[in-house]
């Protein structure tokens, strides 16, 4: 019975060591988390610089508990277990010898003598080993009393040091904690005031009538970020299905661009608004449509309301006018033989007139066939006489933008456009059905 109690106590001690090891591992995880937390506190206050103490204290706890009990469990208890195994084995041998001795027949003296001798030797070995086993039990019991108590006392001292040092650390940062508390109180007050202001604004806005179209309709050609106007428009695709897609459009840097999503790259619809015109479109199936026409393509767009459509049309027209105001007068441009564009001083302006007039059909006015025209419609790409240029001016810049070949400045892209188009190309488009309709082309002597 005593042996059984001692074995049970040894198993309990092993379980205690396992619990201690688990506590140490949990302590290490706590140390790692504590270091991260203290580093955050350091970034805020730069006052707490003793996070190593907690790690040292857990190392002390590990030495006081785990290392002290390690010898007791791994050596003393191991010897006890080995002795117990030998004791159990000899006891089984003795029981077997007892059974054989009892089964020896009376009429066979040699078997009786052999069984008796085996039992005597086994009983002698059992008694010697039992004495050793009892000695191991007594030694283990004696060491257990002070080994475990000493380990637990060391652990209690380590715990005491841990909490004492923790109290000192917290006491050192107490002024900073008070400062944070004061800032927290002020933040609560500011938050309450901000919440009250937002609730007041919300109540004011709720009283407004939202039944009308209140979208942003203003534009600014002098915006600091260069964006004259922006917003959602429906764009008709150029494919065979003519589908409509909603895109975010904007007018910026004299260009009309759009994005499918906010982070997508800009897609340029019109590279230079100075070469375009804009007009409302009423002949389609959809309402609130307008068309931006350039010399090379047309873009059909739809706004969400009539008010927005007018705003977009005005924004495009204002951007066109603003782009013309920003033209520099420092350089004239000459177009080379291969349509390469170079800069020239004002004194070389005659070469511009010569280059443009040599294009097919440009020796006559596009409208009335007057010889030697010296004016141009830069968005249409044609040359005009002075009389027809006045008529074009009266139409407005959204229809025709007139410029002098000799008196105005020219940009490379404008001259390239004039070179690619010309009177013959444009008249084949605008006057292509005159003969079929029986319309007579005006001449130089025709009235205005």
Residue 208: pLDDT band (50, 70, 90) is confident
Q: Are residues 26 and 164 in the same domain?
A: yes
Q: Are residues 253 and 389 in the same domain?
A: no
Q: In this structure, are residues 273 and 316 in contact, taking their beta carbons and an 8 Å threshold?
A: yes
Sequence-ordered alpha helix ranges (H) in 46-108: 52-61, 68-71, 78-103
Q: In this structure, are residues 376 and 383 in contact, taking their beta carbons and an 8 Å threshold?
A: yes
Is 232 a member of any domain?
Answer: yes
Distance CA(274)–CA(254), nearest Å, equals: 8
The parent domain of residue 353 ranges over 333-437
Distance CA(125)–CA(184), nearest Å, equals: 81
Q: Are residues 254 and 308 in the same domain?
A: yes
| Confidence check: pLDDT of 328 > 70 | no
Q: Are residues 282 and 396 in the same domain?
A: no
Tokens of 305: 């309301």
Distance between alpha carbon 94 and the CA centroid of its chain, in Å?
80
Q: In this structure, are residues 255 and 275 in contact, taking their beta carbons and an 8 Å threshold?
A: no
Q: Are residues 302 and 338 in the same domain?
A: no
For the CA atoms of 22, 28, 33, 38, what is the dihedral angle to 10 degrees? 140
Is 54 a member of any domain?
Answer: yes
pLDDT at residue 254, as a whole number: 86
Q: In this structure, are residues 350 and 303 in contact, taking their beta carbons and an 8 Å threshold?
A: no
Q: Are residues 38 and 164 in the same domain?
A: yes
Q: What is the pLDDT of residues 167-205, one digit of tens each?
A: 888 888 888 889 989 999 999 999 999 999 988 888 888
pTM above 0.95, yes or no: no
Q: In this structure, are residues 2 and 29 in contact, taking their beta carbons and an 8 Å threshold?
A: no
Q: Are residues 25 and 86 in the same domain?
A: yes
Residue 383: pLDDT band (50, 70, 90) is very high
Which residue would you say has higher pLDDT here, 325 or 434? Answer: 434
For the chain, the first-to-last Cα distance in angstroms comes to 134
Q: What is the pLDDT of residues 98-111, one digit of tens each?
A: 888 888 888 888 88
Q: Are residues 300 and 361 in the same domain?
A: no
Q: Are residues 411 and 356 in the same domain?
A: yes
Q: Which of 325, 356, 380 is the last residue of a domain?
A: 325
Most confident range (mean pLDDT) of 211-225, 244-258, 294-308 is 244-258
* Domain count across the chain: 3
Residue 349: pLDDT band (50, 70, 90) is very low
Q: Which of 280, 303, 325 is the last residue of a domain?
A: 325
Is 192 a member of any domain?
Answer: no
Cα 358 to Cα 372, 378, 444: the distances in Å are: 10, 17, 20
Where do we find the tokens 């066109």?
320
Is 243 a member of any domain?
Answer: yes
Tokens of 246: 């909603």
Is 247 a member of any domain?
Answer: yes
Q: Are residues 269 and 375 in the same domain?
A: no
Distance CA(153)–CA(159), nearest Å, equals: 10
Is 395 a member of any domain?
Answer: yes
| Confidence check: pLDDT of 358 > 90 | no
Distance CA(391)–CA(380), nearest Å, equals: 14
Tell me the sheet residues that pair with 404.
375
Lowest mean pLDDT among 148-152, 380-384, 439-443: 148-152
Is 218 a member of any domain?
Answer: no
Q: Mean pLDDT over residues 229-258, rounded?
A: 90
Where do we find the tokens 């805020």?
44
Specify the CATH number for the domain of residue 399. Answer: 1.10.220.150
Distance CA(184)–CA(173), nearest Å, equals: 16
Strand order in the sheet with 255-259: 267-270, 255-259, 244-252, 227-236, 298-302, 289-293, 277-281
Q: Are residues 24 and 168 in the same domain?
A: yes
Specify the CATH number for the domain of residue 122. Answer: 1.20.1270.60
Q: What is the pLDDT of residues 127-159, one digit of tens each?
A: 888 888 888 778 777 776 676 667 677 777 777
Q: Are residues 232 and 87 in the same domain?
A: no
DSSP letter (8 states) at residue 446 = S
Is 113 a member of any domain?
Answer: yes
Q: Which of 325, 344, 378 is the last residue of a domain?
A: 325
């Amino acid at each position: 019975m005593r042996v059984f109690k001692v074995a049970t106590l040894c198993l309990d001690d092993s379980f205690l060591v396992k619990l201690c090891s688990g506590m140490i591992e949990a302590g290490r995880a706590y140390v790692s988390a504590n270091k991260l937390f203290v580093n955050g506190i350091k970034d805020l206050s730069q006052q707490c610089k003793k996070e190593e103490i907690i790690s040292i204290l857990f190392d002390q706890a590990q030495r006081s508990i785990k290392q002290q009990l390690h010898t007791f469990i791994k050596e003393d208890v191991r010897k006890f277990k080995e002795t117990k195994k030998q004791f159990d084995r000899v006891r089984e041998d003795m029981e077997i010898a007892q059974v054989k001795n009892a089964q020896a027949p009376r009429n066979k003296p040699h078997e009786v003598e052999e069984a008796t001798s085996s039992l005597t030797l086994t009983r002698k070995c059992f008694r010697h080993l039992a004495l050793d086993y009892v000695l191991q039990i007594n030694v283990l019991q004696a060491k257990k009393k002070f080994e475990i108590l000493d380990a637990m006392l060391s652990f209690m001292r380590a715990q005491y040091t841990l909490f004492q040092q923790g109290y000192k650390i917290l006491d050192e940062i107490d002024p900073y904690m008070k400062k944070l508390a004061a800032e927290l109180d002020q933040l609560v007050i500011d938050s309450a005031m901000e919440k009250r202001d937002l609730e007041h604004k919300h109540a004011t806005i709720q009283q407004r009538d939202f039944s009308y179209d209140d979208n942003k309709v203003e534009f600014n050609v002098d915006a600091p970020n260069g964006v004259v106007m922006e917003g959602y428009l429906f764009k008709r695709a150029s494919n065979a299905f003519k589908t409509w897609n909603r895109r975010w459009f904007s007018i910026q840097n004299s260009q009309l661009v759009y994005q499918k999503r906010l982070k997508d790259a800009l897609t340029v619809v019109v590279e230079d608004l100075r070469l375009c015109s804009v007009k409302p479109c009423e002949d389609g199936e959809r309402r609130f449509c307008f068309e931006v026409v350039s010399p090379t393509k047309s873009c059909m767009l739809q706004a969400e309301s009539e008010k927005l459509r007018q705003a977009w049309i005005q924004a495009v027209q204002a951007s066109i006018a603003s782009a013309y105001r920003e033209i520099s007068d420092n350089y004239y441009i000459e177009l080379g033989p291969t349509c390469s564009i170079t800069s020239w001083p004002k004194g070389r302006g005659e070469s511009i007139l010569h280059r443009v007039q040599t294009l097919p059909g440009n020796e006559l006015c596009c409208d009335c066939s007057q010889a030697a025209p010296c004016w141009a419609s830069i968005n249409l790409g044609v040359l005009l006489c002075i009389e027809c240029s006045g008529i074009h001016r009266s139409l407005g810049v959204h229809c025709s933008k007139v410029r002098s070949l000799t008196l105005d400045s020219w940009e490379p892209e404008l001259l390239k456009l004039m070179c690619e188009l010309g009177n013959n190309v444009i008249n084949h488009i605008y006057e292509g059905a005159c003969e079929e309709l029986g319309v007579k082309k005006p001449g130089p002597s025709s009235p205005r």
